[in-house]
Structure 1
C-alpha cells in the first residue's frame, strides 16, 4: 500500500514537471520566436518612446519600460538632456531634437508595436528611473543596440557595470563614423 502511494506521488510530480517544461516550449513555439540563450526573455513591443526606450509586454502580461544598454540616441524633444547635449556638442537644440526624432523613427521602423523581441540583461537590471536595462534582439536575431550603432543612430553610452558588449559597441560606432552613417553624415 505504501509503495503504491509513493509511486502515485512520483507520477504526479513527473506529470507536473513535464507540463511545466512543455508549457514553456509551447509558449516559445506559439510566439514564432526561439531564444538562442535561455537567459533571454521574450516580450511584445507595445510602444516606442524614442530611439533607445520602449514599452513591452512580458509573457506574464506585465508591461515594462525598457532602456537599451550601452547606447544613447539624441533626445527627440526639448528637455534638460537635449540642452546639455547641445552645449556639449556645439549643436543647436533644434538639431539635437531633429536627430533624436530621426533615431526614434528608425527604432519605430525596426520594432513597431506588436513585434516580438528578446531581452537580455546584464549585471544591473534597472536604471534610476526604474526602466529595465536590456540588450534587445530582433526577430531576425540581430541585436537592436548594435543595429542602431551600425546605422549611426546612436552613440556608445557605457555605464558600468553593464559593459558586456562595450568593446564591440565602440568598434561599431567608429565604423559608422568613418562611413558617415545616420547621425554622422552631418559630422555630429
Structure 2
C-alpha cells in the first residue's frame, strides 16, 4: 500500500513539473513595431540585432529606418549607441563653367582712299595702316572678271557716296567674323557717323541683302525692309536687270 502511494506521488510530481515549465526556457518570437514604446527603442533594437540580416523584418524598405510611425523619441541613425545621427554631407555643387566673353564691337575711324566696287572700299585707318573693307550685309553685281548687269551703276553709286578722303566710321558686327577669307575686314560703313552706306546701296536698288552661310547679321531685318522697298518700286537692278 505504501509503495502504491509513493509511485502515485512520483507520477504526480512529474506531471506538475512538465506543466510548470521544467522542460526548459521558451524561445523569444518575432518582434514587430507594436512591441516597442517608441521609434527610438525599435531603432536601437534593430541596430543591436543583426541589422544587415534583419531577422525580425522591421526594415521592409531597406533604408535602415524602422517603425517610423512609432511615437517619440525618434532616432534614425546607424550607431547602436544611440547618439545623434551623422549629418548627411551636402554635395558641393560643381562650379558653373565660365561664360564666354561677349564679343566686342570694333569701331574705327578712317578716310576713304578709293572705291573698289559697289561693296568694297579701301581706307586708311586713323590709327594707321590701310585696309580693304568688305561692306557687311550686301552684295553687288561684279565689275571684275566680267561685268554683271548693274555692276557699273553699283560702283558709281558707292563712289558718289564716298569720294576720296571722305571720313567714315567702320563698325563690326559681333555676330559676324571680323574679316573674310581674303583678308578684307568686314564692317558697316557710316558716312559722317550716321548714314549707313550699305543699307543705302540696298535701298537704291544697287545691292541685294547678303546673309553669309545662313548666319543673319544684326541689321538683317532693316536691310530686308530696304530691299523690299527697292523691289516694289523697281529701283536699280530690280528695274533694269
- For Structure 1 versus Structure 2, the TM-score category normalised by the shorter chain is 0.5 to 0.7
Structure 1 or 2: more helix by fraction? 1
Residues 69 and 162, structure 1, Cα contact 8 Å, conserved in 2: no
Give 1:183 deviation, angstroms: 1.5
Q: Shift in Å at residue 162 of structure 1?
A: 5.7
* Cα distance in 2 for residues equivalent to 1:128 and 1:39: 19
2:166 is equivalent to residue 112 of structure 1? no
- Mapped pair 1:129 → 2:182: yes
Counterpart of 1:57 in structure 2 is 124
Gaps of 5+ in 2: 1-104
| Deviation per residue, 1:32-69 (Å, 9 max, x gap) | xxxxxx85211000011000001101112200000001
Quote the RMSD (CA, aligned, Å). 1.7
**Structure 2 counterpart of 1:169:** 223
- Whose relative contact order is higher, 1 or 2, with alpha carbons under 8 Å and at least 6 apart? 1
Q: How many residue pairs get matched? A: 134
Q: Please state if 1:183 is matched with 2:183.
A: no
Query: Where do 5+ consecutive residues of structure 1 fail to align?
Result: 1-37, 80-93
Question: Which among 188, 198, 202 is matched to residue 145 of structure 1?
Answer: 198
User: What TM-score results when the alignment is normalised by the length of structure 1?
Assistant: 0.67
Could you say which residue in structure 2 is the equivalent of 1:43?
A: 110
CA distance in 1, matches of 2:216, 2:191: 20
TM-score by length of 2: 0.53
Q: 1:48 to 1:108 in 2, by over 3 A?
A: same
